[in-house]
Amino acid sequence: MADTMNLQYIVVGAAVVASVVYVFVTRCPTAARRLRGWVAIRLIDSGSVRLSKLGRRIAPAPKAQDGCGSCGGCDPNG
């Protein structure tokens, strides 16, 4: 019984964390981008090959220089 309750707590906790991350990313995209960049820089500079690869993977894409770059709606090519 205790093992089942512990598993249930882990699943519910994971669902809550996923919900918080989703809300943070959708409601605060600028802060989420800055946080991803901050974490990526720390991982790339860690010295570990695996952490560097992970840091490059989670790093945000560079912003456009000629426009706002927020939604891509005013892209002249598309």
For the chain, which ranges sit under pLDDT 50?
78
| Residue 17 pLDDT | 97
**Among the listed residues 15, 17, 59, the one whose alpha carbon sits nearest the alpha carbon of residue 40:** 59
Would you state the structure tokens that stand for residue 50, as one six-digit string? 């695996």
User: What is the structure's pLDDT at 16?
Assistant: 98
